[in-house]
A and B are shown apart, each in its own frame.
Chain A
């Protein structure tokens, strides 16, 4: 039987307003609906924007009964909110007419100078003219991708890679090629091979996207020696590098690693953020880019938002000027180090042999590889039943890999909750292993889907 196509706009939710003509005896003719009157009009890039079981499960993770090791929200409990409130009050009272007005598309000059001072701590020598303020570094990455990538263009990423970056690359219909990492970050030889292979088949790589320091989700840091190698390889193949560095100042030992951008100004576009060092709710990040790139970014920014939020920029600027923000960041580091220690200790005590995990020197995340044969996505419902949540590894790959891995975050729960969460996780892993043993090899996940499987940003 051929059903007539839905008639858009004929009634609420696309429900057609009238029945078909009275039919012959036999099957009745019904009203047809899809609950979406515009289903035949969406752009191709919305393919995959569908409801997901995995995202639905994260809805349970937001409940207090569940220990969420899934989210990426920074812990703001240490922020001096009274002092911040006084700063904001003063800002509105004395400079409200400016702070509440449109601003420059490139961002406020005063803040851009302060951003350069912040970057100088890590050894990056940037000029305020080359800084574009963005709505979080996420928008920075969006703008960079917008100006460089046509549909089908190749972007090289680490394996695994930041889920938010993969979302941007999908939105611009890029083809993502993953390059392997190990405990010391991106493997230079693997990068060289990937670039050689792509060159061989005539595919132009638009850029290599990397989080070299305290990687999300892998929890590893690219060593100094490898940094030089990665830059050299990218120079050999004439590939632009996008360095995403939101966690650089959140290290647990010693000086922050030197960003790639500190040693290479012409080939590296640098993304920075105040979301982890101050407040993600303000959505202030930045791009430091070579002059010609920056000019295009400013135009792209104006067409995207007119200007980054002037008020947020003014708050960040005042906070940097009036507060011991570096002392505050030190406090954050202490808090996260304690939580990292709690997680690593608990994993060592609780997890069965066959599981392995990374030992981050900074940032928010531990990357865990399950014993062979287990599938982190298939296991998630069991974990939610046991009141613990994590992000399955497949979310961090554009190609369906990562099924044996998962990301654990220690940034938000207290050390006690982290220990409890790992205890629950260990029991879940044990149960899942029994099940896999029962049903034998080949009991892989029933279906492999890749799509919108990351938790929402406001998940703790």
Chain B
């Protein structure tokens, strides 16, 4: 672990924002703020708004923890602002965030790095309008098969995401997806164990935390299953074979490195019946709520969330502002 953050430092957790995941972000912000304060670090929470940049310039914090989810948070926009102002922050740089946040782009990058990822097509709503939705949907089903997963190419918390098991369910899934974002990712559904693996860089090199397996009672890890305590069973470490477990860790590290991520990321994977690991997406600002996966993995690794966050902060401060 790098040098510890010191008590004279003042940290700023930025959460909230205007994305569809505002509520999740506020919960993440509260949890991380609490963990850092218990660790003895002076930490403030702040929403994104017209007064943010003025506050950062007038009274720069020692380090910012951007805990915005969804647009503006994970697409790198806020981090661009932090670099512009010259404040150290925890997490990946803007260009890497842009790659990672767009699932269709991230999948290409990780596939080039040798990972398996389900076959998929990314299409904006306009394309369906221009060339005819029915024939495109027919072709999607012919080429990719069923079931399919439809989700916004950019977005999180499974918002706008649905599993399509029959052709006639596809139009509704597309409409539901396009309410959340302009581009849809239509992906082959891979059955198997859903597993999330966090990568942290709290030492000289990146390492993985224990894999968390997700077993939603409803069968689908949707918004309700994510944020209702009790609605999903989590198993950590994931009950997969040792080989598959190692392959999950390898996949998460490979994605983290291939996309040029930094400090912390969480990869969402599926282990199919053959033990093959499939990459679905990676999060540059993973959820930190009471029902989120990264804090669970931190605990399972025998670590304290405040200590881990403080370690990341210390690294960010040592690194200094990006210019």
Contacts and interface: CB of A to CB of B under 8 A. Distances in A.
B238 A30 contact: yes
B175 A34 contact: no
Given A28-B242, A56-B223, A438 B133 contact: yes
B251 interface: no
Contact of B133 (A29, A59, A385, A440): A440
B172 A444 contact: yes
Contacts of B179: 378-382, 432, 435
Interface stretch (A60-68, A185-193, A332-340): A60-68
B128 A60 contact: no
A50 B231 contact: yes
A349 interface: no
Interface in B205-236: 213, 215, 223-224, 226-236
Contact of B234 (A25, A34, A51, A445): A34
Interface string A419-460: 000000000000010111011101111110100000000000
A449 B226 CA distance: 16
B296 interface: yes
B133 A378 contact: no
A39 B171 contact: no
Contacts of B178: 435
Interface in B252-291: 290-291
Indicate the member of A25, A53, A378, A440 with the most B CB atoms within 10 Å. A53
Contact of B175 (A39, A53, A436): A436
B311 to A, nearest CB: 21
Interface stretch (B17-25, B81-89, B113-121): B17-25
Contacts, number: 148
A57 interface: yes
B147 interface: no
Contacts of B242: 25, 28
A203 interface: no
A443 B162 CA distance: 13
Contacts of A13: 290
Nearest to B24: A56
A57 B179 CA distance: 12
Given A28-B240, A439-B128, A440-B171, A34 B232 contact: yes
Nearest to A55: B23
B74 to A, nearest CB: 16
B227 A381 contact: no
Nearest to A1: B239
A226 interface: no
Contacts of B19: 60
A38 B172 CA distance: 36
B134 interface: yes
A1 B179 CA distance: 38
Nearest to B150: A446
A10 B208 CA distance: 26
A33 B296 contact: yes
Measured as residues with beta carbon below 8 angstroms from the partner, the interface class of chain B is 35 or more
A374 B242 CA distance: 49
B159 A443 contact: no
Contacts of A39: 229-230
Interface in B1-51: 16, 18-24, 26, 47, 49
Contacts of A60: 18-20, 22-23
Contact of B239 (A30, A56, A449): A30
Contacts of A38: 230
Contacts of A150: none
B228 to A, nearest CB: 4
B159 A381 contact: yes
B172 A446 contact: yes
B233 A33 contact: yes
A445 B229 contact: no
Contacts of B112: none
B128 A438 contact: yes
Contacts of A57: 20
B23 A59 contact: yes
A52 B222 CA distance: 10
A36 interface: yes
B236 A36 contact: no
Interface string B168-212: 110111111011100000000000000000000000000000000
Contact of A443 (B18, B160, B174, B229): B174
Contacts of A45: none
A446 B134 CA distance: 17
B226 A51 contact: yes
B175 A443 contact: yes
A440 B176 CA distance: 13
A177 to B, nearest CB: 27
Contacts of B240: 27-28
B138 interface: no
B66 interface: no
Contact of A35 (B22, B172, B291): B291
Contacts of A439: 128, 133, 171-172, 174-175
Given A26-B241, A440-B134, A378 B176 contact: yes
A403 to B, nearest CB: 12
B171 A30 contact: no
Contacts of A15: 296, 299
A296 interface: no
A440 B168 CA distance: 11
B23 A35 contact: no
Contacts of B172: 439, 442-446
B129 interface: yes
Interface of A: 1, 3, 6, 13, 15, 25-36, 38-39, 50-53, 55-57, 59-60, 63-66, 378-382, 384-385, 387, 432, 434-436, 438-440, 442-447, 449
Q: Which 9 A-B pairs have the closest CB atoms?
A: A39-B230, A51-B227, A36-B230, A443-B171, A36-B229, A59-B23, A30-B235, A439-B171, A56-B23
Interface of B: 16, 18-24, 26, 47, 49, 125, 128-129, 133-134, 159-160, 162, 168-169, 171-176, 178-180, 213, 215, 223-224, 226-242, 245, 290-291, 296, 299-300
11 contacts: A3-B233, A27-B241, A28-B240, A34-B231, A50-B224, A60-B18, A66-B18, A439-B128, A439-B171, A442-B168, A442-B172
